[in-house]
Structure 1
Amino acid sequence: MAKVFTLAEVSEHNTNKDCWLVIDGKVYDVTKFLEDHPGGDEVLVSSTGKDATDDFEDVGHSATAKAMMEEFYVGDINTSTIPTKTTYTPPKQPHYNQDKTSEFIVKLLQFLVPLIILGVAVGIRFYTKSSA
């Protein structure tokens, strides 16, 4: 039966001399692999003390890399010790209706454009009378 660790226990192994990771609910001692890791040892050390599953998956490791993990397996994580992830929920906002906005702009222009033309015409008429 596999040993079960808490996140606090795994978090104690957070240096390049002693590095443990939590990936998919399993604990891996990757200390011996640090020098050989293609991404450098800092990447692995920075993933200690948390669930590193997302970090691991985001990189897109090969099937060979995933198979290599078996030799570093030391036990399982007590999932109740890992904080739950929260998802972003955007604030409630009124629905933006493009059609109503466009409709408003068209009506506004239908009102303003004739007024502007009338104003320009009166202005020209007034200007030409006063300069004559």
Structure 2
Amino acid sequence: MPTLTKLYSMEEAATHNKQDDCWVVIDGKVYDVTSYMDDHPGGDDVLLAATGKDATDDFEDAGHSKSARKLLDKYFIGELDETTVPEMPELKIYKKEQPKDFAQSCIDLTKQYWVVPVSIITVSIAVSVLFSRKK
């Protein structure tokens, strides 16, 4: 006869977030790691920080060994009821507008920044020519 696995809600798992009562959720499974708090190589604060959420990414990012993964079996108490996990909002990705051709950008900048100096020089030459004729 197959054994029935207990289902826990995320809310219920989140209430176990203390040094003397600590559960973590990894890969849809719930683990009671209370008795492991003092033995955890990263310290109890790492486990406490993983409560109340899906700690799968935290667990994977830490680079746990095969023996650490095997050790999880010892603390397994049930499965997470996936219907109780709050949905994450969908991220919208906006496509950035393609930049102009590099050569055209350089020409545009050149025009923009040389118009004023060239205009000033042209006016200066015109004024000096007019004053030189009067003398």
- Normalising by the residue count of structure 2, what TM-score does the alignment of the two structures yield? 0.77
- CA deviations on 1:39-78 (whole Å, 9 max, x unpaired) are 1111111211111111111212111111111100011110
Which amino acid letter does the alignment assign opposite residue 27 of structure 2? D
Which secondary structure state, in structure 2, belongs to the residue aligned with residue 8 of structure 1? helix
More helix by share: 1
Q: Give the direction of change, closer, same or farther, for the CA distance of 1:86–1:63 in structure 2 (3 Å limit).
A: farther
* Structure-2 separation of matches of 1:67 and 1:113: 70
Shift, 1:109, TM fit: 2.9
* Structure-2 separation of matches of 1:108 and 1:124: 25
Give the alignment of 1:63-102 within 5 angstroms.
63-91=66-94, 95-99=97-101, 102=103
Which amino acid letter does the alignment assign opposite residue 106 of structure 1? I
In the alignment, which residue of structure 2 is the partner of 1:62? Answer: 65
Structure 1: any 5+ residue segments left out of the alignment? none
* Structure-2 separation of matches of 1:7 and 1:48: 10
* Structure-1 separation of matches of 2:20 and 2:62: 24
**Of 27, 30, 34, the match for 1:31:** 34
Which amino acid letter does the alignment assign opposite residue 55 of structure 2? A
**Of 7, 10, 13, the match for 1:7:** 10
**Of 13, 16, 23, the match for 1:20:** 23
Shift, 1:18, TM fit: 0.6
- Normalising by the residue count of structure 1, what TM-score does the alignment of the two structures yield? 0.78
In the alignment, which residue of structure 2 is the partner of 1:47? Answer: 50
Which secondary structure state, in structure 1, belongs to the residue aligned with residue 37 of structure 2? helix
Identity %, equivalent residues? 37
When the two chains are superposed, the root-mean-square deviation of aligned CA atoms in Å is 2.9
Which amino acid letter does the alignment assign opposite residue 97 of structure 1? P
Structure 2: any 5+ residue segments left out of the alignment? none
Shift, 1:88, TM fit: 2.6
